[in-house]
Structure 1
Amino acid sequence: MNRGLTRAVIFDLDGTLIDSAPDIHAAANTLMARHGFAPFTPSETRSFIGSGVPHFITCCLRARDRAGDAALRAQLIAEFIELYETAVTLTQVYPGVPDALTALTATPYALGLCTNKPVMPARAVLAHLGLDAHFPVVIGGDSLTVRKPDPAPLHAAVAGLGARDVVYVGDSEVDAETAARAGLPFALYTQGYRKGPVADITHDRAFDDFAELPGIVADLLS
């Protein structure tokens, strides 16, 4: 219903709208056990999140001294994506997200999603959590031939919404670089999966409570 609006808010997913790290950790350790590797701690797998499944699996194999095994990497990527499509039961929505999305839609802004998560797992977790109706456009890490921080996926989300004035909302260095390269204002959610201090991440506004987001968007697009 939001298509055709000229103002839009586009979101990252993991670490921004949802805390999916527990499901990702569980899926990674299922693979590790299947292939005879030691399990990871939650903090280890959390540090691997943000640049898509191929990067995630590369980090896993690097940590187990198998980064050079291309055949194993390809196999684990395929197996992880299969697990990922049903890895929704441990994921939670961050506090305040549903109310913020409802408020933004009512303003009204068009809402979209631009994530490095593959599009089918992204849609599956959105549906499981009851957020899918907010997002007529979902661009995943496998929707194009490139992923964030290349700006092309974010540009595709903007084009899909037909929007002119857009704010991108994310939680990480990857998201900040994507917004900068796309030439869009960036709102940084500080409770997600960033690797370093907030001060080291380029952003227009930072927030730790989603109740602040509608006001931030209005300011950035005023």
Structure 2
Amino acid sequence: MARIVFDLDGTLIDSAPDIQAIANRLLAREGAAQITLRETRGFIGNGAAVFVARMRAARGLPDSAQARLHADFVAAYESAVTLTVIYPGVCAALDVLQSQGNSLGLCTNKPEGPTLAVLNHLGLTDRFATILCGDSLPQNKPDPAPLHAAFAGLGKGPAIYVGDSEVDAETAQRADVPFLLFTQGYRKTPVDQLYHTHAFDDFAHLPDLVAQVLVR
């Protein structure tokens, strides 16, 4: 069967409320205006350092504050799980895919500490045979190296990547693998402008889309 690797934030879980809460605590300390949930989702995707840089730029905070804000953000991020939720239908879809003999992995730009914290909190850790995080390798997505490493950790078989964002689409394209695009995540670009094999807005459709990819 297939090797199916998933992105995490915006694909399997909506972590934006927790991330927003951390960001706004930091901004309040700096005397800067709060960021909205929409802004938060727009800043997610390239890892914690890029998120902090985007947040800082949006509120006019100097480059010299980057290292300090990034360190404080990552420290708070380690345990930020209470507002994060699993998207509807995810667990049922994972059950079906595993029952069909597919092997499942995770490839995220989120650092390992907060990744494992939120997976453990939500009971998702044991779903994945391999987990590649933002600090697992020197490269981050959209470099295809982490995705290739995640697939390698799942052995042999057809490869499929599932994600939600511009970063995920570029990663899949550069890795030359089929890409299933979840349209309810943190994407900002119209679907028809992104590389994808199939798009879906409901995880109930995912097993059928995987089957369609496998018979191509």
Return the match for 1:101 from 94, 106, 109.
94
Of 81, 91, 98, which aligns to 2:84? 91
Task: Find 2:70's aligned residue among 72, 77, 81.
Answer: 77
- Give the drift of 1:68: 2.6
Q: One-letter code of the match for 1:39?
A: Q
Measured after TM superposition, the shift of residue 26 of structure 1 is: 0.4
- Residue type of the partner of 1:116? N
> 2:62 & 2:194 partners in 1: Cα distance?
28
2:175 to 163, 182, 187: 182
Other-structure match for 1:201: 194
1:103-122 equivalences under 5 Å are 103-122=96-115
C-alpha displacement of 1:146: 1.2
Partner of 2:4: 9
In angstroms, what is the RMSD of aligned CA positions?
A: 1.1
Deviations 1:181-202 (A, max 9, x none): 0111000000000011111111
1:160 — aligned with what? 153
Q: Residue 66 in 1 paired to residue 41 in 2? A: no
Query: How far is the alpha carbon of 1:36 from its aligned partner?
Result: 2.5
User: Structure 1 length as normaliser, TM-score?
Assistant: 0.94
Taking only the aligned residue pairs, the percentage that are identical comes to: 57
**1:42 shift after superposition:** 1.2
Aligned AA for 1:196? T
State the secondary structure of the residue aligned to 1:161. Answer: coil
Q: Quote how far apart the aligned CAs of 1:121 are.
A: 0.7
The answer to whether residue 32 in structure 2 is matched with residue 37 in structure 1 is: yes
**1:57 matches 2:37:** no
How far apart, CA to CA, are the structure 2 residues paired with 1:87 and 1:119? Answer: 13
Cα deviation digits, residues 159-205 of structure 1 (max 9, x gap): 11113311000001110000010111000000000011111111000
Give the letter for the 1:37 counterpart.
A
Aligned to 1:218: 211
Q: Which amino acid aligns with 1:36?
A: G
Alignment partners' CA distance in 2, 1:27 and 1:33 = 10
Name the CA distance, whole Å, in 1 between partners of 2:156 and 2:120: 24
Tell me which residue corresponds to 1:23.
18
Q: Report the Cα offset of residue 67 of structure 1.
A: 4.7
Distance of 2:76 and 2:16 partners within structure 1: 14
Report deviation, 1:218: 1.4
CA displacement at 1:123 relative to structure 2: 1.2
Distance 2:151 2:90 in 1: 21
Determine if contact 1:58/1:67 at 8 Å carries over to the other structure. no
| Equivalent residue for 2:166, pick from 162, 165, 173 | 173
Letter in 1 for 2:190: P
Instruction: State the number of aligned residues.
Output: 215
Paired with 1:163 and 1:22, the residues of 2 have a C-alpha distance of 37
Cα distance in 2 for partners of 1:64, 1:207 equals 34
> Gaps spanning 5+ residues in structure 2: where?
none
